[in-house]
Amino acid sequence: MSQNLLEISDFCVSYGAVQAVHQVSLSIAEGEIVAVIGPNGAGKSTLLCAIMGLLPASGQLRLDGLAMRRIQVEAMVAHGVALVPEKRELFGEMSVHDNLLLGGFSPWRRGQRDQAQRMQEVFAIFPRLQERRNQLAATLSGGERQMLAIGRALMARPRLLMLDEPSLGLAPLIVREVLQVVASLRQLGVAVLLVEQNARAALQVADRAYVLEMGALALSGQAQALLHDQRIIDTYLGMGRPATPSAPAPAG
């Protein structure tokens, strides 16, 4: 059993007086794909931003078993953690190639000079990006933009990639394509923390999953088991529900 790459415990995040994440504990091992599913407003993005050090949080965060005293973005990046936020934040007026190059800037600053090789690896995962390497990011389709955002994050050679709703706004066929790519990251040895409202798609590619409801963990387990959990089916998968007889019309 490999040691956990990331472990958080009793994580709490507040916006002013309002607590958006309550005492969340979760872990992810090297090379594992872990999903956090939950409805809109459950606190998924807040959780990712706090793990990345973009929002202040209370609780413990361990990387490779070592407790981080303060969670800061620079330190998380240096430890190999990358976040693809819900707003993809691509540079629309720049080419695919230049967007990718920017993703490799932080390792370049640390003296690594293997950006060309890394870009070839990204192109191997996303051949479509190679075909469109000179196209402006703003002119890409939604699915291609998502691939570019993931590719750009991969340029930094992360050990843990955190994806905030990669399926958001994409047509079902494209969702499948993007999530197949997420599954293939397993072969690169990259661990993925996948946050999704699209529970079915996320559970199909994840090893394990946590269910976040109103800022707190409601359930966790093996993704395959959750796919067959009646409560998950009823609440998140919208199938297998017995046809509900229509409610009697209110009197009067």
Ligand X SMILES: Nc1ncnc2c1ncn2[C@@H]1O[C@H](COP(=O)(O)OP(=O)(O)O)[C@@H](O)[C@H]1O
For residue 177, count CB atoms less than 10 angstroms from its CB and return exposed for 0-12, middle for 13-18, buried for 19 or more.
middle
Under rule CB under 5 A, residue 198 binds Mg ion = no
Of 34-42, 58-66, 153-161, 243-251, which part binds ligand X (CB under 6 A)? 34-42
Give the integer Cα–Cα distance in Å for 244 and 71: 48
Under rule CB under 6 A, residue 40 binds ligand X = yes
Q: What is the smallest separation between the CB atom of 15 and ligand X, expressed in angstroms?
A: 3
Under rule CB under 6 A, residue 105 binds ligand X = no
At CA 198, angle to CA 131 and CA 9, rounded to 5?
Answer: 105
Give the integer Cα–Cα distance in Å for 192 and 161: 5
When the beta carbons of 45 and 167 are compared against Mg ion, the nearer one is 45
Q: What is the smallest separation between the CB atom of 89 and Mg ion, expressed in angstroms?
A: 14
Q: Residues 11-50: x/- map of binding to Mg ion (CB under 5 A)? A: ---------------------------------xx-----
Q: Residues 43-72: x/- map of binding to ligand X (CB under 6 A)? A: xxxx--------------------------
When the beta carbons of 20 and 194 are compared against ligand X, the nearer one is 20
Which positions ≥6 away from 247 have C-beta within 8 Å?
none
Under rule CB under 6 A, residue 42 binds ligand X = yes
Give the integer Cα–Cα distance in Å for 152 and 4: 25
Give the integer Cα–Cα distance in Å for 21 and 84: 20
Which of 10, 41, 66, 184 binds ligand X (CB under 6 A)? It is: 41
Give the integer Cα–Cα distance in Å for 208 and 223: 5
Q: What is the smallest separation between the CB atom of 19 and ligand X, expressed in angstroms?
A: 9
Under rule CB under 6 A, residue 145 binds ligand X = no
Residues lying near Mg ion in the complex (CB under 5 A) are found at 44-45
Which residues sit at the interface with ligand X, rule CB under 6 A?
15, 20, 38, 40-46
